[in-house]
Amino acid sequence: MSQVRVSGLASLAFADLPASASRPAQTTRRLTARLSGKEGWCLLVGLLLLWQLVAWVVPARNRFLFPSPLLTAQALWASLFELGKGTLSSFIILIPGYAAAVVAGVVLGILAGTTRWLERLTVPFTRVVAPVPPTVYVPYAIALLPGFRSAAIAVVFIGAFWPIFVNATAGAASVPQRLRDNARVLGLGKAEYLRRVVFPSSLTHIFSGMSVGLAMSFIMLTVAELFGANAGLGRFVQFYADFADYPRMVAGILFTGAVTFVCMRALDRVRRRALFWQR
């Protein structure tokens, strides 16, 4: 009788083991489900904690070179008005240069991707000029053009044009043959064929080029403002770096990154709406 009781208790204990052993796994799965889609925010929190830890470890004599997150946040709050004015000044340069690059890159890219002789003419030139870092044009553009604003718009245009042009050319050249045959059967003219067939088919490539071009535009804008601007986000960072005000300098860098992120997200939202069939 006692043996039966012992064996019954043992069987109950062993029956409970899988449930207790699976609790950590269940907790892990629940935590993973809750954090799903929030990995970016988790990384941001982790980087902030690492930043604060490094700020504590840095020796006191060098701590002014590496401000803590709290000190940087205070400097950012105190500089919001100045950063807002700098953003407006930067956008006055960014928007015309980037918009001109989009229009020129898309139009010329579609023409080059659908016209054999134009493709043979532009591809060798593109392979030589496009890989050149656009930053090398900044000093010459500032010296050549009449004012800083026109020079900055020109270098922003150069930085954004080549990615858009190359991707638009690739998109136009990769239009499916069945769409070309259908357009030929329907008797579409050249302009209507480009507008109704080639342009929609190339949108995926065009938006890829626009994303790269927008990132390059911000890089070129900041570099140009470091050279000779009186206002702007790049000028803000350079000004406070010259005066060794590193909390404001770091705040300016973070604010510039936030502005770039917002613009990239806005472009991504436009892309999703334009390419709604790819969802």
Are 132 and 205 part of one and the same domain? Answer: yes
What pTM value is reported for the model? 0.80
Same domain, 23 and 131: no
In angstroms, rounded to a whole number, what is the distance separating the alpha carbons of residues 27 and 23?
6
| One domain for residues 22 and 93 | no
Tens digits of residue pLDDT in 4-59: 444 444 454 445 545 555 566 666 666 666 666 667 778 888 888 888 888 787 77
As a whole number, mean pLDDT of residues 247-265 equals: 92
Structural domain count, the chain: 2
Structure tokens at 3: 């043996």
Q: Is 61 a member of any domain?
A: no
Q: What is the pLDDT of residues 130-171, one digit of tens each?
A: 888 877 887 778 778 878 888 889 989 999 999 999 999 998
- What is the phi-psi region of residue 58: left when phi exceeds 0, alpha when psi lies from -120 to 50, beta otherwise? beta
| Judgement on whether residues 25 and 123 belong to the same structural domain of the protein | no
In the prediction, which pLDDT does 209 show? 93
| Whether residues 26 and 154 fall in one domain | no
Judged on CB neighbours under 10 Å (0-12, 13-18, 19+), 19 is: exposed
CATH classification at residue 140? 1.10.3720.10
17 and 116 housed in the same domain = no
Closest CA relative to residue 158, chosen from 187, 126, 188, 123: 126
- What whole-number distance in Å separates Cα of residue 173 and Cα of residue 163? 15
Q: Are residues 82 and 148 in the same domain?
A: yes
Residue 243 pLDDT: 86
99 in the same domain as 146: yes
Per-residue pLDDT tens digits for 73-122: 898 999 999 999 999 999 999 999 999 999 999 999 999 888 888 888 88
Q: What are the CA-CA distances from residue 126 to residues 7, 190, 262 (Å)?
A: 82, 25, 31
Is the Cβ–Cβ distance between 197 and 125 less than 8 Å? no
User: Which tokens hold the place of 141?
Assistant: 């553009």
Q: How far apart are the first and last CA of the chain?
A: 67
Q: Does a structural domain hold residue 54? A: no
21: containing domain: 1-35
Residues 85 and 150 in one domain: yes
Name the residue among 232, 273, 275 with its Cα closest to residue 255: 232
The tokens describing 196, both together, are 């109704």
- Contact by Cβ (8 Å): 88, 233: no
Q: Does residue 44 lie within any of the structural domains?
A: no
Under DSSP, is residue 211 helix (H, G, I), strand (E, B) or coil? helix
The percent helix, strand, coil of the chain (3-state, each to 5) is 90, 0, 10
Across 58-62, 144-148, 176-180, 218-222, the highest mean pLDDT is recorded for: 218-222
In a domain, 60, yes or no: no
